[in-house]
Structure 1
């Protein structure tokens, strides 16, 4: 079997979807060639696959996420025109897209991954994607042999929103880079910032940063916690600018540190030095940062909504993300209850063992074998 992989979502500064794409492809390629299959990867960013056995076809650089809305338009056109052309030329048996981008034309043998239904839940936040989910995805579903998603929670959302057969949706969990995300004894960030909570991915309003900062404001009013900071990384400037405008007049804001993009190699230190990860998201299709944090022995405070209870198990403090007082109480508990922190660290290390890229790739390859029509 020859597998074509649509990795046009990948850019030079990968975040959630990009990280998933790199890890699932690299592990899938290893296992596929071990079973005698071939793989061809379509991407504008070849670097993560330099040592791969797979053939890598470089596509237009304008499909890269760094080009914003232009990239979205280019990816759509590329999927409709060039993906059918390349897949026919390369004689692939099945096409796997690491995201919800597929083709109306060419092969019916395609599998899409839908990671979440955010554009349907927050339409004002994702106006163009809302249109895509409402009008394009229902048409694409007619040209797919199945869907992959990353949690039972998202699977339920897909069945509800698209009236798509439950039996035709397979769950392949996300994972984390086990060799990279582990406790780091370097106390660089602790020495620089003292006691701090970590907030990862301040990209959109559904990440709920404003309520996390309102909770920090409550902490600041207690003399014992006046030094406690919150470090924010991975944000979008347009969103963080709104947050700054809302809170900069308050004295507690001196304890808010915006780190922007933190290099991949620094993330384990950032997690390892934190009091806890605060992740009060209103919706997640999966939620990789809490798993990365657990692997780095960083306790987690997470929302009790969508996929997070499924992913985090018994290894987190759960909060109502719409209640700033609930978030405040959880943060305070992390500061004063050393026994609880220790228990959460132990449970977190056990919990993240459930998520392995090799296991995820094995499940995906089994699905591609079933849907691909021929083997070997």
Structure 2
């Protein structure tokens, strides 16, 4: 049996979905049953920089194209007959044996976040991929329901939650919490970044900082990125490295996560791993993944967000409870568990002849 992982994500700037794919790939590599399945191949377009080291797999560039054309033409041509695992929403449409991970239906649920060409491509591709795929997987029960509601899948996708333990501090690394609220994410419309800018305005003159880690887009923040004075309480850091983001998670009074829609809600769990309290939108799947470990507010109710933020600042007992509850919640989501679940699904597709041999009793 030939098993190939679509490594297109390795040759482009890292997105949230790509981060999931990278962590899943390295976790699968640790448990891959090479004795029964053989080594796997990570197929990549030209331009791969060779930064990935695997124990049970081999990274192999193929073809001459790039981007979506490589995925649709070169990948299936060079790996005809293989089972191809596609962790980042898209896959070669004409290939006959795809396992595809479709993370969400956001492009249809919240089209304002995406360009017209992107909407058209995903609207065409995703339902056709789902119908032809050997298996469709998604990352939350909410996403499985939305994929069906939007007609992308006809039957429920398999659900495998993401992990969030790719970088996490020990207790000794914790820093004193500042009077600072953090927004971490892209400026896409469904992220509701403008609420964060409005919340900063509500706290003007109260010695409270509001920090944005991510792309600086004036439109997403209601123009605040262009108009906020240097001495104001709203700071834009732009894209930052993981170490800098980890430091913000350690120091923030809370992460503010006002999204209208998500596939999984990766960022709040990442923050919780650092003991950072979370104030989240009360929309699914955040309520699914966070449970009772966060404060929730309607993403359109600015007053509710102001009250929640004020409670974090004025009630140290609440902040401490959310910090500890968040750590416990984040520990439920590990890449090892995700990899175990995916391997089980992969074995369902590859057939019983690929199952690992039973181990003798000790």
CA, structure 1 residues 181+14, in 2 after alignment: closer, same or farther (shift >3 Å)? farther
In structure 2, C-alpha distance between the alignment counterparts of 1:285 and 1:361, rounded to whole Å = 18
In structure 2, C-alpha distance between the alignment counterparts of 1:348 and 1:186, rounded to whole Å = 14
CA offset at residue 18 of structure 1? Answer: 1.4
In structure 1, C-alpha distance between the alignment counterparts of 2:331 and 2:266, rounded to whole Å = 13
Q: Structure 2-normalised TM-score?
A: 0.88
Written as runs of structure 1 = structure 2, the 5 A alignment for 1:123-162 is 123-126=111-114, 127-162=116-151
CA, structure 1 residues 372+291, in 2 after alignment: closer, same or farther (shift >3 Å)? same
Superposed CA deviations along residues 37-68 of structure 1, whole A, max 9, x for unmatched, are: 22111235454522443110125797xxxxxx
In structure 2, C-alpha distance between the alignment counterparts of 1:60 and 1:182, rounded to whole Å = 44
Q: Structure 1-normalised TM-score?
A: 0.85
In structure 1, C-alpha distance between the alignment counterparts of 2:173 and 2:139, rounded to whole Å = 32
Written as runs of structure 1 = structure 2, the 5 A alignment for 1:217-232 is 217-220=201-204, 226-232=206-212
Which residue in the other structure is 1:25 paired with?
25
Which residue in the other structure is 2:60 paired with?
57
Which residue in the other structure is 2:91 paired with?
102
Written as runs of structure 1 = structure 2, the 5 A alignment for 1:1-12 is 1-11=1-11
Corresponding pairs, count:
350
Which residue in the other structure is 1:362 paired with?
340
Structure with more of its chain in helix, by fraction = 1
Deviates more, 1:264-273 or 1:172-181: 172-181
In structure 2, C-alpha distance between the alignment counterparts of 1:111 and 1:201, rounded to whole Å = 28
Which residue in the other structure is 1:76 paired with?
68
**What 5-or-longer segments of structure 1 have no aligned partner?**
63-73
**What 5-or-longer segments of structure 2 have no aligned partner?**
356-362
Q: 1:210 aligns with which of 187, 190, 194?
A: 194
CA offset at residue 166 of structure 1? Answer: 2.9
In structure 2, C-alpha distance between the alignment counterparts of 1:18 and 1:48, rounded to whole Å = 15
Deviates more, 1:19-28 or 1:35-44: 35-44
Does residue 118 in structure 1 map to residue 99 in structure 2?
no
Deviates more, 1:122-131 or 1:147-156: 122-131
In structure 2, C-alpha distance between the alignment counterparts of 1:230 and 1:2, rounded to whole Å = 50
Superposed CA deviations along residues 218-258 of structure 1, whole A, max 9, x for unmatched, are: 1225xxxx2111111122x4x34653734765679711111
Does residue 351 in structure 1 map to residue 352 in structure 2?
no
CA RMSD in angstroms, aligned pairs only: 2.5
Written as runs of structure 1 = structure 2, the 5 A alignment for 1:289-304 is 289-304=267-282
Check whether the contact 2:7–2:42 (CA below 8 A) recurs between aligned residues.
yes
CA offset at residue 303 of structure 1? Answer: 0.5
CA offset at residue 289 of structure 1? Answer: 1.2
CA, structure 1 residues 210+60, in 2 after alignment: closer, same or farther (shift >3 Å)? farther
Secondary structure of the residue aligned to 1:232 is strand
